[in-house]
């Protein structure tokens, strides 16, 4: 993904070590025609930077945030507390619990501040891109058309 330019979809990683998890997102976003950008900002180690990234992203036109994190994965929930845009959370399997820790830390958000959670790991990251396309397609016929073509490919056995 290209960084540091306006983007409708902003992918936030708690750590650069999570970059391989999202590597399939860029081609999907390009297929759907969604401008996108990756930022690394830890909820715990860089709380001020995280606030700033979200503020600037919103100012630059971000519509959706995808937040990717492992272990006690607070990033998606913290992002959701700092924006009113839809936030998609991708749990990462780090260490020995198979990502169950990250999944529960992301999906079990208390009432008022939702995170749209998808599957653990790379499968989830890919689906985050598709879910973003479904959301943006509500107001964007070009994305809707790309999504329909994508579904057709899947039905033909493509991935």
Q: C-beta of 2: minimal distance to a second copy in Å?
A: 20
CA 41/CA 51 separation, integer angstroms: 9
Taking the C-alpha atoms of residue 102 and residue 73, their distance in angstroms, rounded to an integer, is 5
Which residues inside 69-98 make contact with a second copy, applying CB under 8 A?
Answer: 70-72, 74, 77-78, 80-82, 84-88, 93, 95-98
Q: Which is nearer to a second copy, 2 or 61 (CB)?
A: 61
DSSP 29-64: HHHHT--EEEEE--TTT-HHHHHHHHHHHHHTT--E
Gap between the Cα atoms of 150 and 27, Å rounded: 12
Please say which residue, 1 or 103, places its beta carbon nearer to a second copy: 103
Q: Smallest distance, Å, CB 119 to a second copy?
A: 5
- Provide the minimum distance between the beta carbon of 30 and a second copy in the complex, in angstroms, as a whole number: 16
**In this structure, what token pair is assigned to residue 43?**
């909820």
Q: Which of these, 138, 118, 108, 134, lies nearest to 66 by C-alpha position? A: 118
Tell me if 43 contacts a second copy by CB under 8 A. Answer: yes
4, 5, 112, 141: residue in contact with a second copy (rule CB under 8 A): 112
If one asks whether residue 157 binds a second copy (CB under 8 A), the answer comes out as yes
Cβ atoms of 54 and 37 within 8 Å: the answer is no
- Least separation in angstroms between residue 66's CB and a second copy is 11
Cα separation, 116 vs 76, whole angstroms: 9
Q: Is there binding between residue 55 and a second copy (CB under 8 A)? A: no
Residue 110 interacting with a second copy (CB under 8 A)? yes
- Binding test (CB under 8 A) with a second copy, winner from 3, 23, 49, 56: 49
């Amino acid at each position: 993904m290209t960084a540091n330019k306006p983007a409708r979809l902003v992918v936030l990683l708690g750590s650069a070590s999570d970059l391989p998890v999202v590597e399939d997102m860029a081609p999907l976003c390009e297929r759907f025609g969604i401008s996108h950008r990756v930022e690394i900002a830890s909820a715990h180690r860089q709380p001020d930077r995280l606030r700033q990234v979200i503020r600037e992203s919103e100012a630059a036109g971000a519509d959706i945030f995808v937040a990717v994190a492992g272990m006690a994965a607070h990033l998606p929930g913290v992002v959701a507390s700092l924006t009113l845009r839809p936030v998609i959370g991708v749990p990462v399997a780090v260490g020995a619990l198979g990502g169950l820790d990250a999944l529960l830390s992301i999906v079990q958000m208390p009432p008022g501040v939702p995170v749209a959670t998808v599957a653990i790991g790379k499968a989830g990251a890919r689906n985050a891109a598709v879910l973003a396309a479904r959301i943006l397609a509500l107001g964007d016929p070009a994305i809707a058309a790309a999504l329909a073509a994508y579904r057709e490919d899947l039905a033909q056995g493509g991935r």
